[in-house]
């Protein structure tokens, strides 16, 4: 018995050493491909996250395959036509002319990729539960074409554990094993659409793998395209860091949103209070109130964390309260508009209200989760005749929760004279705010933009 046990140990040891050597060889080969820029990188989802990543990887010298289920996007990319205006037309023209970029709706094109990044939406369901269907479907598609030794990197924001608990089993379902046949990591996107002077290459990148080899391989790929890459202990750490970043913002925005009506009733301008507090050179970071949260991150990501926390028996009261505060801001804006109209002797029913700006943030055409949608719907529910002006959005696009059949009106004196109230939702630089100040009768300002207008303002301005 002892003799047999003793003889079996070297065999087992050799097997382990051989497996370890194969893993080392596989990861070393993958790292070498990325360091030498001889890899092909696939990007699944060519939206606000995926397309900037395509640019970064292409600029790094990689051959890039861009995959999307939207045939319209693919057709526009092939023709060099921009569908994300804030990225500029030169980007898509450059990609269209490059032999190193292939846009496609055919998943089989991903079979030649040495790395595939998943950049798909992670929205909320009807009851604020995570909707990971896009991630799941994308992972299953990739599992069907993934070649040996390739890296899969999830970039979509999600709760801690998604990469290991959802993506890993799908990729290993056919008998493959992470570290032996492929590599898997999480590297959260940090895009800020419309921000000037900073591009994907300059934004530090977090990387956390399912195992150490996956972390090293993923870091090698991103280091080829990103100036600073920070490796973390695991995919879960990277997932949690991304959730923390956006929850931090949501909670602090909720604080000033909660203070706004309190201080307003005291006759105190919260914008002046924030400006005053900002003179402190330490211990304070300015956050600003608004008409509600928009975009794909801040209104959504904290709910992914609260969902996962319940699985472990925790109730994230602070985060959920912040969500309630931020979500009530569109109704507060509409209430302030009704009060302002009433003070002018006008009822809300039948009042003509022009909403200025429907994008969720300034100087872009992104309307994802925009508070303008709820504000317009609430105004219409109260009987107002609503129109909008946005220099970046010509037609209100159909959304998951809203279908608002409106087109942007020209901003001119005639249209302003016909309005009973102008509600400022987005402070685009391209809007002539001085014109609004001169020609409108009533302005409900949610962004404090009218306070920055030089010259005489004839309109009555109410902050909301």
- Does residue 297 carry a catalytic annotation? yes
What distance in Å separates the CA atoms of residue 207 and residue 230, rounded to the nearest whole number?
A: 6
Q: How far lies 398's CA from each of 189, 358, 371, in Å?
A: 25, 13, 14
Q: Look up residue 108 and give its two tokens.
A: 């089989």
Going by C-beta distance under 8 Å and a sequence separation of 6 or more, which residues neighbour residue 355? 372, 375, 376, 379, 386, 387, 388, 389, 422, 423, 425
Of 113, 119, 167, 297, catalytic? 297
Other C-beta atoms closer than 10 Å to the C-beta of 285 total 9
3-state secondary structure the chain: CHHHHHHHHHHHHHHHHHHHHHHHHHHHHHHHHHHCCCCEEEEECCCCCHHHHHHHHHHCCCEEEEECCCHHHHHHHHHCCCCCHHHCHHHHHHHHHCCCEEEECCHHHHHHCCEEEECCCCCECCCCCECCHHHHHHHHHHHCCCCCCEEEEECCCCCCCHHHHHHHHHHHCCCCCECCCEEEEECCCCCCCCCCCCCHHHCCEEEEECCHHHHHHHHHHHHHHCCCEEECCCHHHHHHHHHHHHHHHHHHHHHHHHHHHHHHHCCCCHHHHHHHHCCCCCCCCCCCCCCCCCCCCCCCHHHHHHHHHHHCCCCCHHHHHHHHHHHCHHHHHHHHHHHHHHHCCCCCCCCEEEEECCCCCCCCCCCCCCHHHHHHHHHHHCCCEEEEECCCCCECCCCCCCCCCCEECCCCHHHHHHCCEEEECCCCCCCCHHHHHHHCCEEEECCCCHHHCCCCCCCEEEEC
- Pairing outcome for strands 182-186 and 205-209: antiparallel
Catalytic residues: 297
């Amino acid at each position: 018995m002892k003799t047999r046990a003793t003889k079996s140990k070297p065999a087992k040891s050799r097997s382990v050493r051989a497996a370890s050597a194969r893993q080392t060889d596989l990861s070393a080969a993958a790292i070498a491909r990325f360091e030498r820029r001889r890899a092909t990188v696939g990007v699944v989802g060519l939206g606000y996250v995926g397309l900037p990543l395509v640019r970064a990887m292409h600029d790094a010298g990689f051959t890039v395959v861009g995959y999307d289920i939207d045939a319209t996007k693919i057709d526009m990319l092939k023709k060099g036509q921009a569908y994300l205006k804030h990225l500029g037309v030169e980007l898509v023209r450059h990609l269209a002319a490059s032999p190193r970029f292939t846009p496609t709706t055919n998943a089989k094109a991903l079979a030649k990729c040495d790395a595939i990044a998943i950049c798909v939406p992670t929205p909320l369901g009807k009851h604020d539960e995570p909707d990971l269907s896009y991630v799941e479907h994308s992972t299953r598609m990739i599992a069907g074409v993934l070649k040996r030794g390739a890296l899969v990197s999830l970039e979509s924001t999600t709760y801690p554990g998604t990469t290991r608990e959802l993506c890993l089993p799908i990729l290993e379902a056919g008998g493959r094993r992470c570290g032996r046949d492929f590599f898997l990591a999480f590297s959260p996107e940090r895009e800020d659409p419309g921000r000037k002077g900073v591009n994907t290459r300059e934004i530090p990148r977090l990387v956390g793998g399912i195992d150490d080899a996956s972390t090293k391989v993923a870091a090698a790929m991103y280091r080829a395209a990103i100036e600073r890459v920070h490796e973390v202990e695991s995919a879960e750490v990277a997932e949690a860091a991304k959730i923390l970043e956006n929850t931090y913002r949501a909670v602090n925005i909720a604080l000033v949103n909660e203070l706004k009506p309190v201080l307003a009733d005291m006759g105190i301008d919260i914008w002046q209070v924030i400006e005053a507090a900002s003179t402190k050179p330490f211990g304070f970071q300015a956050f600003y109130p608004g008409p509600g949260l928009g975009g794909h991150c801040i209104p959504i990501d904290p709910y992914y964390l609260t969902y996962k926390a319940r699985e472990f028996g925790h109730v994230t009261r602070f985060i959920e309260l912040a969500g309630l505060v931020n979500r009530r801001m569109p109704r507060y804006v509409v209430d302030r508009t009704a009060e302002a109209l009433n003070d002018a002797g006008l009822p809300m029913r039948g009042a003509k209200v022009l909403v200025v700006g429907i994008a969720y943030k300034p100087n872009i055409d992104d309307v994802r989760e925009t508070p303008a949608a709820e504000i317009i719907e609430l105004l219409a529910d109260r009987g107002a005749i609503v129109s909008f002006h946005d220099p970046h959005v010509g037609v209100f696009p159909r959304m998951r929760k809203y279908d608002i059949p409106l087109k942007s009106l020209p901003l001119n004196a005639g249209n302003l004279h016909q309005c009973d109230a102008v509600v400022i939702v987005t402070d685009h630089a391209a809007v002539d705010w001085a014109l609004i100040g001169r020609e409108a009768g009533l302005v409900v300002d949610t962004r404090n933009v009218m306070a920055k207008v030089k010259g005489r303002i004839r309109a009555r301005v109410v902050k909301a």
